[in-house]
Amino acid sequence: MIGKASVGARTRQRAVLGSALSLGLLTCIAAQTASAADCPGNPDAIGTSRTLVVDPREHPRIGTMQYAETLPLRDHEVVLSFDDGPLPRNSNQILAILASQCVKANFFLIGQMARTYPEGVRKLRDAGHTIGTHSQDHPLTMNKMPIEHAKQEIDDGIASVKAALGPDADKTLGPFFRIPGLERATAVEDYLASQGIQTWSADFPADDWRHISSSRVYDLAIQRIEAKGKGILLLHDIQARTVAALPKILATLKARGYHIVHVVPATPDRPATPTEPQEWRLHPTLETVAISHWPKVPNFVFASADAFAVPALSDFAGTGGELVPQAEPFDRVSHRGRGIPLPQEAPWRGETLFAMNSAATALPVPAQTVFEIPEMPRPTAEAVALLAPPAKPTIASARESQAQAISVSATDSRRAVRGTPVSGQNKRSMAASHQTRRATAVAAHGRRTPLKHLVQVKKRNV
């Protein structure tokens, strides 16, 4: 599963430093040439520039989308990672593209997919890619489920992929795991670490699980890689839009001077690539530069989500002849609750809640008069009529009530926004209060909002 002999970062740096500048440049050019020359029939291939050997026990969590550390990549180095396969129709095309470019990548397989398409797992192995796992059933609730359940998901996923790999599974399955939907939990990460398994997040996604065009996937991939300059790209080999976008992504990366790095696990026969601790940070702190000069590296990428491009309207239109494939089978499975890669609501939902809270706190405090109950006037004729036993509900009256309820709900919402939150429990409490003091309440508010109380009474009767 190793594409090339690994070369330690320290060793390479020392070699370059020990050489004349011109010799260093020649070495660099030679390396690029060798990379293309090693790719039969494709002199324009981007190739795989080097193999990085990592020890999961030294760095159990990587990927700046969620963690402080990421792979010790140099500037303009990218690791390609693919989740959720294998799904032969699209995964085989991804394999063909990678082979044509002599690129080695890191895959995270789902146990159920491996059981269904074991031949696809062996194709990955035979092509020399690194195989990690991605749970058995791809639940998007690993951050909530009991840890014993999460352990089962992890263990079963590994067992399924091993079963597909056969007798040599222990040698060919990498100790790498990506949590479905990136729904991380400390207990899950701790269990993985205790098993010597490295938890992979990523440094940038390309949103290829969303229903966007392949050209948008390409745009997002390149924009985000360029924004950080290096890192782990998260893709999905089960997606047709990814198949369509990948050749252009690789061509652009090559044209812009990027290099592909293949990551493999350390073994007794293959020690980890020597690195310095700061190399595992996206912005390593150099001794000659004051720390305060460097931007703070967020522990969680979504705190800096504004660095990502805002989706364009065309993302959802599919006009202009762009490829907008139908949903993949696994997508449809997800709609029945089995999960998809990176659901929209998973990592980003916190942003929405935060925005709402901010807006609420910015609103003015409601005046005291809002809560005042006026002195009880004499019951009006209208209120007395409302106190009469309700007529038997009919379909027409039920519809009317529904419409009125919507109107009242809107009123409550406006009140909530003005600073009087009306939770479900409060609503029930308020309704009970009105029921026991119906005459008082109706009389008190009869002239202003008789409809509201009528609706509440009717709603309780339905």
Residue of minimal Cβ distance to Zn ion: 341
Nearest alpha-carbon partner for 80 in 120, 8, 130: 130
Q: Report in angstroms the alpha-carbon separations of 177 from 139, 274, 312, 344, 395.
A: 14, 22, 32, 21, 56
Of 336 and 378, which CB lies nearer to Zn ion in the complex structure? Answer: 336
Q: Angle at the Cα of 62 (from 57 to 63), degrees rounded to 5?
A: 175
Q: With beta carbons less than 8 A apart as the criterion, state whether 124 and 86 touch.
A: yes
Nearest alpha-carbon partner for 343 in 138, 147, 149, 192: 138
Of 296 and 349, which CB lies nearer to Zn ion in the complex structure? Answer: 349
As measured in angstroms, the least distance from the Cβ of 19 to Zn ion is 44
As measured in angstroms, the least distance from the Cβ of 254 to Zn ion is 27
Of 265 and 341, which CB lies nearer to Zn ion in the complex structure? Answer: 341
Total residues interacting with Zn ion, rule: CB under 5 A: 4
Pick from 77, 84, 153, 208 the residue near Zn ion by CB under 5 A.
Answer: 84
Instruction: Give the H/E segment covering residue 79.
Output: strand 77-83
As measured in angstroms, the least distance from the Cβ of 84 to Zn ion is 4
Of 265 and 343, which CB lies nearer to Zn ion in the complex structure? Answer: 343
As measured in angstroms, the least distance from the Cβ of 334 to Zn ion is 9
Which parts of 312-351 interact with Zn ion (CB under 5 A)?
341
As measured in angstroms, the least distance from the Cβ of 310 to Zn ion is 24
Of 38 and 155, which CB lies nearer to Zn ion in the complex structure? Answer: 155
What is the largest distance, in Å, between two alpha-carbon atoms of the chain?
A: 101
Residues 230, 8: Cα–Cα separation, whole Å: 18
Which parts of 176-205 interact with Zn ion (CB under 5 A)?
180
Q: How many CB atoms lie within 10 A of CB 368?
A: 7
As measured in angstroms, the least distance from the Cβ of 146 to Zn ion is 21
Of 138 and 259, which CB lies nearer to Zn ion in the complex structure? Answer: 138
Residue pointed to by tokens 């597909």: 164
Residues 151, 169: Cα–Cα separation, whole Å: 20
Residues 51, 6: Cα–Cα separation, whole Å: 5
The region of 96-104, 172-180, 302-310, 421-429 touching Zn ion under the rule CB under 5 A is 172-180
Q: With beta carbons less than 8 A apart as the criterion, state whether 263 and 78 touch.
A: no
The region of 24-32, 76-84, 94-102, 298-306 touching Zn ion under the rule CB under 5 A is 76-84
As measured in angstroms, the least distance from the Cβ of 181 to Zn ion is 7
Of 67 and 200, which CB lies nearer to Zn ion in the complex structure? Answer: 200
Nearest-10 crossing angle of helices 395-417, 450-461: 120
Residues 448, 7: Cα–Cα separation, whole Å: 80
Q: With beta carbons less than 8 A apart as the criterion, state whether 79 and 132 touch.
A: no
Amino acid letter for position 424:
G
Of 46 and 340, which CB lies nearer to Zn ion in the complex structure? Answer: 340
Q: Report in angstroms the alpha-carbon separations of 253 from 230, 256, 313.
A: 11, 5, 26
As measured in angstroms, the least distance from the Cβ of 164 to Zn ion is 18
Nearest alpha-carbon partner for 249 in 205, 281, 210: 205
User: Could you say whether residue 153 binds Zn ion (CB under 5 A)?
Assistant: no
Q: Report in angstroms the alpha-carbon separations of 172 from 7, 61, 121.
A: 20, 21, 11
As measured in angstroms, the least distance from the Cβ of 313 to Zn ion is 27
As measured in angstroms, the least distance from the Cβ of 341 to Zn ion is 3
Instruction: Give the H/E segment covering residue 228.
Output: helix 214-228
The region of 116-124, 156-164, 175-183, 406-414 touching Zn ion under the rule CB under 5 A is 175-183
Of 63 and 341, which CB lies nearer to Zn ion in the complex structure? Answer: 341
Of 140 and 457, which CB lies nearer to Zn ion in the complex structure? Answer: 140
The region of 14-22, 47-55, 88-96, 173-181 touching Zn ion under the rule CB under 5 A is 173-181
Instruction: Give the H/E segment covering residue 61.
Output: strand 61-62
Of 84 and 328, which CB lies nearer to Zn ion in the complex structure? Answer: 84
As measured in angstroms, the least distance from the Cβ of 133 to Zn ion is 11
Beta-carbon contacts of residue 122 (< 8 Å; ≥ 6 apart): 164, 165, 166
User: Could you say whether residue 83 binds Zn ion (CB under 5 A)?
Assistant: yes
Residues that bind Zn ion in the complex, under the rule CB under 5 A: 83-84, 180, 341
